[in-house]
Structure 1
Amino acid sequence: MVLVVTVAAGLFVSGVLPDTVATDVAGDALYVVVVWALVVILAPRLPALAVAGIVLVWCTAVELFQLTGLPDAWGAAFTPIMLVLGTVFDPRDLLIYAVATVVLLAVDLGVSRVVSGAR
């Protein structure tokens, strides 16, 4: 459910709202949430710290891959590629990915404490 809602929010931010710094930051943060959800779906028993590491490595790798120009070229030929690989490198995105990953790690650990305390 989180994945579906987050993808829908990301599509709304990227497709409906005007392109601003705020929507760029929101899009990056939502991307982190989508990657986090996918990692948890694919490996549900991974500890939160491992999930955070995978998410941060993936997001950083995708951002650095943009330096090759390939995501921009591929996105011009097939627009949905832009949703996964982005287009052009922006160093600010690396910071947003790191902050969003730390926030999700804190949320995950907090929720885990509450759930295990309720048992």
Structure 2
Amino acid sequence: MSLSMRRTRLLMVSSAAGFAGAAYSIRAVLDGPVEQYSGAALSGAIVYTIAIFIWPPVSPAVAGGAAIAYCWFIEFAQLTPVPGAISQRSWFARQLLGAQFDSVDVAWYPVGVIPLVAAHWILRARMRSRTDPAPAASSSGV
């Protein structure tokens, strides 16, 4: 594994921990809509970091699409009794699967993912511009 892949993965672990810490801090201090909406957005952000951790070379759009699709899959799975039953037995499972469907969460997952996609795209473009050689000067004399 290359050094850049290791750095990327370390950054993703750190980012996921930071997003989780932010979510639990908000939950500890606030109650109501801010807690709920920020929790969904930060969950989407965590899933995005997991996508990059799993496959660092993935494009921002693919990682973002996969993160949103996964979050929506988990949310819509909550329309069945399975996640709720599993979540009753385990705090960890409840954090991963949730317990009940909330249509508002469906809208808030992209709020956590889209800014990361934009930042990833910008960083990737800057890194490419640093590593690409300058274009050769035209010899046409124009």
The answer for the alignment partner of 1:64 in structure 2 is 76
Which has the greater radius of gyration?
2
Give unpaired runs (5+ residues) of structure 1: none
Q: If the length of structure 1 is used for normalisation, what is the TM-score?
A: 0.87
1:63 Cα deviation from its structure 2 partner: 0.3
Give unpaired runs (5+ residues) of structure 2: 1-13, 132-142
The answer for the alignment partner of 2:33 in structure 1 is 21
Distance 1:26 1:111, change over 3 A: same
- Give the secondary structure class of the aligned counterpart of 1:87: coil
User: Is residue 81 of structure 1 aligned with residue 82 of structure 2?
Assistant: no
The equivalences for 1:1-119 within 5 A come to 1-14=14-27, 16-119=28-131
1:37-60, Cα deviation, whole Å (9 max, x unpaired): 111111001111110111011000
Distance (whole Å) between structure 2 residues aligned to residue 118 and residue 21 of structure 1 = 43
Superposition CA RMSD, Å: 1.6
Dislocated runs of 4+, deviation >6 Å: none
Identity of aligned residues (%): 20
Q: If the length of structure 2 is used for normalisation, what is the TM-score?
A: 0.75
Q: Is the 8 A contact 2:75 2:102 kept in 1?
A: yes
